Amino acid sequence: MKILVADKISSKGVAFLRRQQGFEVVEAYGLTEEKLLGLVGDVDAIAVRSETKITPAVLSAARQLKVVGRAGVGVDNVDVDAATERGVIVMNTPSGNTIATAELTFTHLLCGARPVPQAAGSMRAGKWDRKSFSGIELFRKTIGIVGLGRIGGEVAKRAIAFGMRVLAYDPYLVASRAAAMQVESVTLDELLAQADFITVHLPLTDDTHYLLDEAAFAKMKKGVRIFNCARGGIIKEAALLAALKSGQVGAAGLDVYEDEPLGADNELRKLPNVTLTPHLGASTAEAQDAVGVEIAEQIADVLGGGLIRNAVNLPSMDSATLKLLGPYLDLGGRLGSLVQQLGPQQVNRIRITFWGRLVNMNADPVTRAIQYGFLRHISGDGVNVVNAPVLIQRLGVQVETIKSTADSDYTDLIEVSAAGADGSTASAKGTLVGKTGKQRLVEINGRDVEVAAEGILLVVENVDRPGIVGTVGTILGRDGVNIADMSLSRLTPGGTNYTVVRVDTDPSEAAREEIRNHPAIKSAKFVRL
């Protein structure tokens, strides 16, 4: 089998591939797309970093391609949707840069406390200026870590070693996990108000974009020090610039930016109290060796018919199992996503129950798909069906799986329920119907429903009185939103109703607010499956 190494990965990784029997390894770096198209016709695997773009044209030309391996975390340079459509596995190496990024973050923290880069520049200019470069100690200071995942957790360990008080804001982190890590779990506002140092370790999503903006900076201590080695766009750079100029922020350290490369005339380059690095998070010899060897091993496993690891578009299983479990995987992912969006923000337990044929099958891939679905909207691009259980565990969420032999009235049935620390819960049941295995939701939060498990859902709980369905339909109609499907559920006359509406397009925020604010509607949640 032929493997094209299109970007320069660790020589140890290339050597590993060359040692495998039956592999032909071709190294070709810095290719234009035209030259790449001429090389990929007979390749079985492509290894890349961030330089080579795996476009639909490349995927179309690579007729034998089975796997694309990215030596790194992000797969922005790979068209994952196009690869999935063509049956090509896309894999990454999500853990290889953890220590490197955590250590770079702490380097920025130290430079923010002690202006070493500025002092070094002064020395190179022939000066001996001790008065201008006074700093502060980390000892007994408070650090606020926004996002206590893989990298944030490593930063916390190092901060504790320096004698710092560690505050953590992560809405999906349960108290028991925080206690085990010796950190204090707080709200974002509490963190902003108390921290002397703030560092962010989050994926860039709609919810985290500009998380630290003008309003957030106004809540911070005067002179706070800010750091971002995660993703550009989490901190609003215009707001940070203004806060640095006003003295509200005393120092900053950035490795990532809203637009990369950072413009030569960007004002951040001119401020003396800012340390900037050019996206060096994974730029250590150890990290590059780790991701290079890791992706080589993963590619070899796939081509050898072994396990699939760290795939962003496929569970870890062989092709025969995938064909059998495929419909259940998709349904499970949708149920997990639905429960996450309907349920409490801080979940400490997820229970998954299977009925029917799944009881006698290896349902672990379905369990993983459910966990992936649960994390899909809250953990960024790095989550997949392989690492979802690890990320769930890191959040302190317990996952219980039950195979029930009780009668469920369905040939196959999956239930996903989530419980919060405050006792609140959310649940959903789904099944496959017909010869084509169409996915249907048959119960939400204990209420019988009947609606397709796809698209955009509006889940409404309302007082049982005339006109509510018509009112919701009228609001959506005025907004130009077409209703594709609807299911009503009522326990007792005059009580509360559940209405599940499937729509073709996203309603506007104004329409959403009008529905939510209706006096007879107790809750209205919009869910994207």
- List residues with catalytic annotation: 231, 260, 279
C-beta atoms surrounding 38 within 10 Å? 11
Q: Please list the residues that pair with 463 across neighbouring strands.
A: 496
Query: CA 12 to CA 5: how far, in whole Å?
Result: 13
The residue assigned the tokens 């369990």 is 367
| Residue of 363, 376, 366 whose CA lies nearest to 312 | 376
| Residue of 211, 269, 259, 281 whose CA lies nearest to 239 | 211
> Mind spelling out the 3-state secondary structure of 439-460?
EEEEEECCEEEEEECCCEEEEE
| Residue of 51, 50, 45 whose CA lies nearest to 69 | 45
For residue 54, what is the DSSP state? B
DSSP string, 60-103: HH-TT--EEEESSS--TTB-HHHHHHTT-EEE--TTTTHHHHHH
Query: CA 282 to CA 96: how far, in whole Å?
Result: 8
Question: Tell me, what amino acid is at 526?
Answer: F
- Sort 367 into a burial class: Cβ within 10 Å, 0-12 / 13-18 / 19+: buried
Non-local (6+) Cβ contacts of 415 within 8 A are 335, 351, 352, 353, 427, 428, 429, 443
Query: CA 132 to CA 128: how far, in whole Å?
Result: 10
